[in-house]
């Protein structure tokens, strides 16, 4: 294993860059948050105060010109993912792209081909694979607790009756806005990881809040190869949330309320490595109901977002594969595209 510290540039210092990437990069052994790109004066000041040893620049082009980085992380708006990733690969850099990977699967495939031609690492930040609840479900599946898994019900419910504005709520297809591409990128990725490829997709897209032109109340149903079903919900108008996860099998079921605790911790300025990182309170644990109708709580595994960047460091050092296979994220994009077609044509789409 290499002892070399790898220099990483972060493009974007909005919510994604400041909360979900910079704290994790800066606390991962073997990685150095060497540069941050943001043109916003307030964000430049905030980044300089929190990361005084990082170079703060206004343009991504400044990173290519410096020529002193090993990798870049793209946490800028969705419309910039493809051109920035292409430019970084052309500059000979490994690339991490925040989800959604690209506005289309064709764009994603183009980037994957380019990375393969240049023999460069390209991966996607699907951090919700390391949510504590999802890690717990995967463990239960691997242990055979459910018997044969029949159905996954998974949702992200939010209560945001007043739109925030900004590019995520823009109807321009280049922005890949709306909940399907935002939260759906996570939920579909988790469903494919748990139950394998999807062969049929059905979707309902609704715009409930006034003044919006993107979906804010969304349902996706998947039939997987092997006939497992996944039902996925994303909603910005859920004042009373339903279970975050419910998994049904022929030997038992698991029900879990509440979101993973890591996002709130990162937003509050906490850092990975602090005591109790990723651990939720006992009262939030999920419940498993077995074949005989007996129920017991299941301690939630700690959330582990730092594992993504630890995996990136290992991959860059040549000691492990990429933490997320880029083709997994292309498969997610194909499901999201099929979901849009399904909602538009009001029919099930076969993949």
Mean pLDDT of 285-305: 96
Query: What confidence tier does 1 reach under pLDDT thresholds 50, 70, 90?
Result: very low
239 in Cβ contact with 160 (< 8 Å): no
Q: Give the whole-number percent of the chain exceeding pLDDT 70.
A: 96
Q: Is the dihedral of CA 237, 208, 337, 168 positive or negative?
A: negative
Is the pLDDT at 172 greater than 70, yes or no? no
Is the model more confident about 312 or about 167? Answer: 312
pLDDT computed for residue 227 by the predictor: 92
Query: What confidence tier does 338 reach under pLDDT thresholds 50, 70, 90?
Result: very high
In which order are the strands placed within the sheet that holds 349-350? 295-298, 286-290, 252-256, 245-249, 149-157, 229-235, 217-224, 198-206, 349-350
Is the pLDDT at 169 greater than 80, yes or no? no
Window from 124-138, 172-186, 305-319 with minimum mean pLDDT: 172-186
Output the CA angle 238-240-244, nearest 5 degrees.
80
pLDDT tens per residue, range 253-262: 999 999 999 9
Q: What is the CATH number of domain 128-304+334-350?
A: 3.30.360.10
pLDDT computed for residue 162 by the predictor: 87
pLDDT tens per residue, range 209-253: 988 889 999 999 999 999 999 999 999 999 998 999 999 999 999
Query: What confidence tier does 174 reach under pLDDT thresholds 50, 70, 90?
Result: low
Residue ranges covered by each domain of the chain = 6-125, 128-304+334-350
Mean of all residue pLDDT scores within the chain: 94
**Which three-class secondary structure state does DSSP give residue 289?**
strand
Query: What confidence tier does 170 reach under pLDDT thresholds 50, 70, 90?
Result: low
211 in Cβ contact with 163 (< 8 Å): yes
pLDDT tens per residue, range 62-101: 999 889 999 999 999 999 999 999 999 999 999 999 999 9
Query: What confidence tier does 171 reach under pLDDT thresholds 50, 70, 90?
Result: low
Q: What is the CATH number of domain 6-125?
A: 3.40.50.720
Is the model more confident about 129 or about 172? Answer: 129
Q: How far is CA 32 from CA 134, 166, 169, 314, 315, in A?
A: 29, 31, 33, 14, 15
pLDDT computed for residue 61 by the predictor: 94
Is the model more confident about 170 or about 67? Answer: 67
Mean pLDDT of 263-292: 95
Residues 6+ apart with CB under 8 A from 167: 77, 78, 79, 175, 177
Nearest by Cα to 8 from 111, 123, 113: 123
Is the pLDDT at 24 greater than 90, yes or no? yes
H/E/C letters for each residue in 73-107?
EECCCHHHHHHHHHHHHHCCCEEEEECCCCCCHHH
């Amino acid at each position: 294993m290499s002892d070399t510290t790898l220099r990483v540039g972060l493009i974007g210092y909005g919510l994604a860059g400041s909360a979900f990437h910079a704290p994790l990069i800066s606390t991962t052994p073997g990685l150095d948050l060497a540069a941050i790109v943001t043109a916003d004066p307030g964000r430049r000041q905030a980044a300089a105060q929190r990361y005084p040893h990082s170079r703060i620049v206004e343009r991504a082009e400044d990173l290519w010109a410096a020529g002193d980085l090993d990798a870049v992380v793209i946490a800028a708006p969705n419309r910039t993912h493809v051109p920035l990733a292409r430019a970084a690969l052309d500059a000979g850099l490994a690339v991490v792209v925040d989800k959604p990977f690209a506005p289309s699967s064709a764009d994603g495939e183009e980037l994957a081909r380019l990375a393969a031609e240049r023999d460069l690492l390209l991966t996607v930040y699907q951090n919700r694979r390391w949510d504590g609840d999802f890690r717990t479900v995967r463990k239960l599946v691997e242990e055979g607790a459910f018997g044969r898994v029949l159905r996954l019900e998974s949702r992200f419910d939010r209560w945001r009756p007043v739109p925030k504005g900004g590019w995520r709520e823009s109807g321009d297809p280049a922005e890949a806005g709306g909940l399907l591409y935002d939260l759906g990128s996570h939920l579909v990725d988790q469903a494919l990881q748990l139950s394998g490829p999807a062969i049929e997709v059905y979707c309902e897209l609704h715009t409930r809040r006034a003044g919006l032109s993107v979906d804010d109340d969304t349902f996706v149903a998947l039939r997987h190869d092997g006939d497992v079903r996944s039902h996925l919900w994303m909603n910005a108008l859920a004042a009373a949330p339903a279970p975050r996860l419910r998994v049904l099998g022929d030997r038992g079921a698991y029900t879990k309320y509440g979101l993973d605790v890591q996002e709130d911790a990162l937003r509050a300025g906490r850092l990975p490595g602090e005591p109790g990182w990723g651990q939720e309170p006992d009262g939030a644990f999920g419940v498993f109901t077995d074949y005989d109708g007996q129920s017991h709580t299941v301690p939630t595994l700690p959330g582990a977002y730092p594992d993504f960047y630890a995996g990136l460091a290992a991959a860059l050092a040549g000691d492990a594969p990429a933490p997320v296979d880029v083709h997994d994220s292309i498969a997610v994009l194909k499901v999201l595209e099929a979901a849009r077609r399904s909602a538009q044509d009001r029919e099930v789409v076969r993949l």
